[in-house]
Amino acid sequence: MKIKLFISYSEKDKKKITLIEKVFSDTPEIELIIIANNKSEMVTLTKKVTDGIKKADYFIPILTKQSITEQWINQEIGYANAYKETKNESINILPVAEKSILNNLKGFIHKQFDISFLFEGDELSPRTESIRFKKTIIALKEFILDNSNLKSGKTKTNDLYNLIVNKQFNFVFKPEMNKSKVIEFSPDGTIAKGRNQNEDTWEIKNEKLLIKNSEGKLFSSFTYDTKSKILKHTNEPNTLSIKDQYMVPLE
């Protein structure tokens, strides 16, 4: 049985929807419900939306500078939230949001809402914004697959993702001198806080947190120690960083 995702969006963000379709094109176990693709002329737009939300396992609103001012997308969010509370508690609402609008979010989805899937907009470089958005959508896909048990052997990867995304850590990068900094990991695969030429981007692979430098080379690698609840450097020889580094979560 396919997992159904209802995508709520503004027509002004159509390029982002095309990108979403590309990211999910290799995932037959997931079906995207995009109302613009429903060509049934005998059904009103309102009914297409409500029927689509009722069928969905996930409601994914794409929140950008363009979409948050549109009444229609806010109505879809309101309907999905009401349907979740009164009819179907199993529907999951997972917003994808542009970071710069968080303080402007109101209503059913606001800045206090747990929005794990964020991306950095870039008005000067649409290509850069597109790359960041794609990374966030890939992270969303991985999360849904893992959460739905459709990806065997990946639950630890999902746990590690949830552990680090949008969380801050005290990163001890020179253990012998006890030098540290605060580091934060964005859902789009970039370092949100504490970013420099050594710690530029990140990804999770084989249950390891891999940090790459500004040249795209593997700089450091960490695994999560469940006993100490610390991310510890793997000290693998192919990493460029100082060994024995570690990260402690900040509460």
Residues 163-218 pLDDT 10s? 898 899 999 999 999 999 999 998 878 899 999 999 999 988 878 999 999 998 99
Mean pLDDT value across residues 118-136 = 92
pLDDT at 152: 38
**pLDDT mean across residues, the chain:** 86
What pTM, to 2 d.p., does this model score?
0.61
pLDDT tops 80 at residue 104: no
The pLDDT tens digits of the residues spanning 66-90 come to 888 888 888 898 888 888 877 656 7
Residue 83 confidence (pLDDT): 85
Question: Sign of the C-alpha dihedral, residues 217, 219, 223, 229?
Answer: negative
Taking only the tens place, the pLDDT of each residue in 148-158 is 654 433 345 56
Question: Which candidate, 67, 121, 116, 115, places its Cα nearest to that of 98?
Answer: 121
pLDDT at 45: 79
| Whole-number pLDDT of residue 134 | 94
* Tens digit of each residue's pLDDT (9 = 90 or more) over 1-23: 688 999 999 989 999 999 999 99
pLDDT at 123: 87
Q: Which of 168, 196, 172 is nearest to 183 (CA)?
A: 168
pLDDT value at residue 112: 47
The mean per-residue pLDDT over the stretch 218-223 comes to 96
